Amino acid sequence: MTAAIEERAAEGHLQRRIATRLFLSFAFAYFFSALLRGVTATLAPNFSADLDLGAADLGLLAGAFFLGFAATQLPLGSALDRFGPRRVVVAFLLAAVVGCAAFASARDFLGLTLARAVIGVGVSACLMAPMTAFRHRFTPVAQMRANAWMLMTGSLGMVASTLPVRWLVPLVGWRGLFWIVAGVLALAAAAIARWVPPDDVNPPPPRRLQTVGGYRAIFRDPTFMRFAPLGFCHYGGMIAVHHSGPDRGSSTSQANRPAITS
């Protein structure tokens, strides 16, 4: 009896260790994904000074991230079902490493924009992949808790993209910052490959018509159609305000800037 109890206790401790490593590996990657999402607003003055970018350029630069991010969401769902979250997020993170390195090396606006889009593609699995893994491996109660902690981690990453980045840039420069983030994302990919358990046996690949039919059912769902405009307008507005760079020009443009009141 005692041996059985000790064995169950040891097994429970091992499961907790595996779950903790799984969560921390994914959270580490998602933290820097959120940081990359908001960092262009903080670095807007640097881009303007170094590359002579205007407000329209800065807006497009910020939007390139979301364009790359959004473009992958539908195929990402199929890839997670077919290949599993561990393999998918590692592959995507390697693309983000390439994007960060290209961004740090870019010498013109076009290079920055293309690299920014690649970064968006690369980090686009950093939330849905762990949520898929939690669904497969955690109890419903633990899954809800882990999902909430992941969202909290993303919020901390957004906070880190503000003053902490502003403090770091004078030391390493904005190009050095992206080289550092590229290295950190490579470490995150290695941690996920090392600490996240292998994905389960793959189901048969879904037929293309079945996949399209599944998406069609979602877009025809009345509940989805009621909430989609809300998410589009509210989140889009929030991102637009968050990524609005400083006005360029004389003090007259500053004086003419409309105030934002509550």
Which tens digit of pLDDT belongs to each residue from 200-259? 755 555 555 456 666 778 788 888 888 888 877 776 666 666 555 444 443 333 434 443
Question: Please, are residues 62 and 242 in contact by the beta-carbon 8 Å criterion?
Answer: no
How does pLDDT run across 101-140, given as a tens digit for each residue?
999 999 999 999 999 999 999 999 999 999 999 998 898 9
Q: What is the CATH number of the domain that holds 195?
A: 1.20.1250.20
Instruction: Give tens-digit pLDDT for 54-84.
Output: 888 888 898 899 999 999 988 898 899 889 9
Amino acid identity, position 195: W
Tell me: the pLDDT tens digits for 170-190? Answer: 999 999 999 999 999 999 999
Is 163 a member of any domain?
Answer: yes
- Percentages helix, strand, coil for the chain (3-state, rounded to 5) are 80, 0, 20
pTM score > 0.85 for this model? no
To 5 degrees, how large is the angle CA 254–CA 111–CA 29? 90
In a domain, 261, yes or no: no
Asked whether residue 258 is domain-assigned, the answer is: no
Q: How far apart, in whole angstroms, are the C-alpha atoms of residue 96 and residue 75?
A: 17
**Complete DSSP assignment for 21-87:** HHHHHHHHHHHHHHHHHHHHHHHHHHHHHHH---HHHHHHHHHHHHHHHHHTHHHHHHHHHHH-HHH
Q: How many separate domains does the chain show? A: 1
Whether 100 shows a pLDDT value over 80: the answer reads: yes
